[in-house]
Structure 1
Amino acid sequence: MGLFPPDAGLRIAMVAGEASGDMLGARLIDAIRARRPDARFVGIGGPKMQAAGLESLFPQETLAVRGYVEVLRNLRAILAIRRELKAKLLAERPDVFIGVDAPDFNLAVEHSLKAAGIRTIHYVSPSIWAWRGERVHKIKQAVNRVLALFPMEPPIYQAAGVPVSYVGHPLAESMPIVPDRQGAREVLNILPRQAPVFTLMPGSRQGEVDVMAPLFIAAARLIAKEVPDAQFLVPLATRPTFDRFEQLLWRLKAHQLPIRRLFGHAQHAMAAADAVLVASGTATLEVALAKRPMVISYKISPITYRIVKRKLQLPYVGLPNILCGEFIVPELLQDDATPENLAQALLNAWRDADYRAWLDGKLTELHHTLKQDSAARAAQAVLEVAEHG
């Protein structure tokens, strides 16, 4: 029996490796189906893509690992999935394959499929503008088109002769230009309404929560000492990360802190906050679009950090800073990511009204730049490749 049903008019394979890719992939599926109701989707995706209609052949969580050392621990399982997936797709020959982010996994799949004459698209440019810029040549060999989320990306691909479409970022569509802070506090029933609220976002993967949550909880403990009426929100995207955070609270004897765990509700938690402590990644862009002061932090294994640091091409790693071309929000990484530093930086941002007003203007300008009806643009580009090459 084949991967696609017999009535599939357009056969699309997709792979997304983590929660942010799952969100992007789900919106793209919806936008394609609006134009081609006969489209059918198979591959690897999370709950959002599956709800939108993707048949996931393998669990997405297996691919959601971070860093060189962490990938090595899971390498056998990841390579086995990639091998089996490639074999299935080469046998089935979908009309187009879309790799959603996860470049280390997807580019290898795309390279094999394109070499066999199957059209391929990579949705979300790897961060070639930040590090490992030489990857543009590998990408050229692997894909028929790149769908770029950020405006500084297309010129890089055009210079290398890679077909590219700037589609903007879907988050800019889903989040309002002017966030409703009081409305979010009402939805979350925060009382009193004007209480100081700090949102903690330790990551979307279990490995990130294991590393970042103890730091964030320790920072919250310090903030609570200085701001006794402070409240803390922690939105967690999946049941495994929710359970892991709950376990850490008890292990660290922090369950009596005013920390409220939320299953989902990330955008409400950001909008309701006075300031946000966030692990580096796509979530930093969400916080930026919510127009909130933030402190970006991240820790990885020392070996991975040394490798990555040598390859960095920019002085910052957080998306708000990269997109604005300057340090508009603090970054406390690796050895600088101590509870004391995180707490102090978050309190500084919360207390400085002039800084908050300046930051709001910067982030509003960024929001307008990224708002491009991205799902529709991405769907149009996919159909151009699938139907015309």
Structure 2
Amino acid sequence: MVAGESSGDLLASRLLSGLRPHLPHADFHGIGGARMAAYGFRSDWPMEKLSVRGLFEVLAHYREIKGIQNALRDRLLAERPAAFIGVDAPDFNFGLETPLRAAGIPTMHFISPSIWAWRAGRIKKIAKAVSHMLVVFPFEEEIYRKAGIPVTYVGYPLAEVIPMEPDVTAARLTLGLAPRDRIVAILPGSRMSEIKYNTAAFVGAAQRLQQRDPSLRFVAPMAGEAQEALFRNLMREAGLADVPVRILQGRSHEAMAAADAVLVASGTATLEVALFKKPMVIGYKMLPASWAILKHMGYQPWVGLPNILAQEFVVPEFLQHAATPDALADAIWIQLEDEVLRARIRHRFNEMHHALLRDTARESAQAVLKLIGREAA
């Protein structure tokens, strides 16, 4: 198995939780994180080596990443495992899955890349790489069926983990926040490159919001110590060190549950915020050269997962040059102040939660067992 970042580690751990009871003595190894390790997974390389995003950012680490990919490919071709499961990280994992499948090793990919949003031509590449695709959104099944690729809809794993009615009071008590405070959670991303480009705009927005309402409280969960150190350094460099942002190690779900509104980088976290039924503003900035290329490659008007699922702008998105501190702050302020808007967003996200709810651990494990000829009774 290969998972390339914290969201993939969480997804893979859900699959492993369903699979391990059926395969108690199996050797699961590859690349993964701490959540996978809890189910006996052995990581041959640190997962952080793959946690790079953006065209030019990846190029800077290309030699090292390609070396890991080649070494793992050669190891697996020699080992001939019962199956290979790539969890997200499509560019890295398809590069492994294609030669493994050609050599007769069953390959599964967990979470479809966003072919319905951009680069639809990848479906031909996927057909060569993947023996079976696990998808987490219901509309994706038909895409793969039409392409002749075996597919199973397993639901979105976090729809099971996140309660339908989050306990806001408990989350605030856990974080030492007052029940009556108005709280904004700031999530600039888990990757170092995301923190690098989003921090100044996100914390600048917090500064402007605090000027409007000095009683506002801000929390910023970080994925690790390195991310926190970079976040703090970037705040200082931007002259924002005095903005009262409380930095948390991990605890992103508690921060989402506690928040009245969330300022979040585009990515998996946007759907987590939606499952917590919170108003949010989606922002994203990247290396200008990467943006110059990527902005022409999409063919939907949305980038945030909640908006894509809803097929409309349920929450606002501000990308690259539009993601200014003033624009982000104005949008968050509207969500804090407009209770009718807040209620409408909660209702839409509640519907979304029900649509995504399945027993993902069981469904995904059954698909793996079928793939390797070990179907459970």
TM-score range, shorter chain: over 0.9
State the one-letter code of the partner of 1:304: S
User: In structure 2, what is the Cα distance between the partners aligned to 1:206 and 1:289?
Assistant: 25
1:274-313 equivalences in 2 (<5 Å): 274-313=260-299
CA distance in 2, matches of 1:184, 1:255: 26
Is 1:297–1:337's contact at 8 Å kept on the other side of the alignment? yes
Separation in structure 1 between the aligned mates of residue 155 and residue 285 of structure 2, nearest angstrom: 29
Map 1:224-373 → 2, pairs under 5 A: 224-373=210-359
Q: Moved runs in structure 1, 4+ residues, more than 6 A?
A: none
Residues 315-361 of structure 1: per-residue CA shift (max 9 Å, x gap): 00000000111110000001100000000011011111111111111
Instruction: Give 3-state SS (helix, strand or coil) of 1:211's partner.
Output: helix
- Per-residue CA distance 1:239-272 (angstroms, 9 max, x = gap): 2112222223333443432211111111110111
> 2 CA distance for matches of 1:314 and 1:221?
32
> What secondary structure does 1:57 align onto?
strand
Alpha-carbon shift at residue 52 of structure 1 (Å): 2.5
How far apart in 1 are the matches of 2:60 and 2:236?
27
CA displacement, residues 61-81 of structure 1 (integer Å, 9 cap, x when unaligned): 111111111111110001100
Q: Equivalents in 2 of 1:46, 1:241: separation in Å?
A: 16
Secondary structure at the counterpart of residue 294 of structure 2: helix
Tell me the distance in 2 between the aligned counterparts of 1:252 and 1:137: 45
Q: What is the CA-CA distance between 1:189 and the residue it aligns to?
A: 1.3
Counterpart amino acid of 2:237?
Answer: R
Specify which of 348, 352, 374 is matched with residue 360 of structure 2. 374
Are the counterparts in 1 of residues 183 and 261 from structure 2 also a CA contact under 8 Å? yes
Which stretch has the larger CA shift, 250-259 or 29-38?
A: 250-259
Judged with a 3 Å threshold, the aligned counterparts in structure 2 of structure 1 residues 251 and 335 are, in CA distance, closer, same or farther, namely closer
Shift of 1:388: 6.0
Distance in 1 between residues matched to 2:175 and 2:288, nearest whole Å: 38
Q: Does the aligned pair in 1 maintain the 2:197–2:285 contact within 8 Å?
A: yes
**Which amino acid is 1:355 matched to?**
L
3-state DSSP of counterpart to 2:373? helix
Amino acid at match of 2:3: A
Name the residue aligned to 1:174.
Answer: 161
Which among 162, 167, 171 is matched to residue 184 of structure 1?
171
Amino acid of the structure 2 residue aligned with 1:215? A
1:80 aligns to 2:80 (yes or no): no
Residue 106 of structure 2 is matched in structure 1 by 119
Rounded Cα–Cα distance in structure 1 between residues aligned with 2:166 and 2:251? 14
Percent of aligned positions that are identical? 48
What aligned pairs does 1:130-141 form with structure 2 within 5 A after superposition? 130-141=117-128
Contact 2:20 2:39 in 1 (8 A): no
Question: What SS does the corresponding residue of 2:45 show, helix, strand or coil?
Answer: coil
Distance in 1 (CA, whole Å) between partners of 2:240 and 2:363 is 46
User: How do 1:81-100 residues align onto structure 2 when only pairs under 5 Å count?
Assistant: 81-100=68-87
Tell me, in whole angstroms, the C-alpha distance in 2 between the residues paired with 1:56 and 1:188: 32
Distance in 1, matches of 2:144 and 2:253, equals: 32
What amino acid does structure 2 have at the position aligned with 1:125? S
Query: CA contact under 8 A between 1:32 and 1:39: conserved in structure 2?
Result: no
Deviation per residue, 1:73-95 (Å, 9 max, x gap): 11000110000000000000000
CA-atom RMSD in angstroms: 1.2
SS class of match (2:341): helix
Tell me, in whole angstroms, the C-alpha distance in 2 between the residues paired with 1:251 and 1:298. Answer: 19
Does the aligned pair in 2 maintain the 1:201–1:276 contact within 8 Å?
yes
Distance 2:331 2:355 in 1: 28
Deviates more, 1:144-153 or 1:54-63: 54-63
Contact map agreement 1:173 1:373 (CA 8 A) in 2: yes
Q: Report the Cα distance in structure 1 between the residues aligned to 2:361 and 2:216, rounded to whole angstroms.
A: 38
Matched position secondary structure for 2:234: helix
Q: Which of residues 42, 64, 81 is equivalent to 2:29? A: 42
Alignment of 1:195-206 (within 5 A): 195-206=181-192
The code of the aligned residue for 1:169 comes to: Y
Q: Is the 8 A contact 2:208 2:329 kept in 1?
A: yes
Q: State yes or no: 1:18 paired with 2:5.
A: yes
Report the equivalent of 2:51: 64
Is the Cα–Cα contact under 8 Å of residues 29 and 49 in structure 1 kept in the other structure?
A: yes
In 1, Cα distance between equivalents of 2:371 and 2:189: 34
SS in 1 for 2:185: strand
Q: Give the length in aligned residue pairs.
A: 375
Q: Which amino acid aligns with 2:83?
A: V
Compared CA separation, residues 249 and 335, structure 1 to 2 (3 A): closer
User: Aligned partner of 2:101: which letter?
Assistant: K
Moved more, 305-314 or 55-64: 305-314
Distance (whole Å) between structure 2 residues aligned to residue 74 and residue 155 of structure 1: 36
**Does the CA-based 8 Å contact 2:160-2:359 persist in structure 1?**
yes
TM-score calculated relative to the size of structure 1: 0.94
Extract unaligned runs of 5+ from structure 1.
1-13
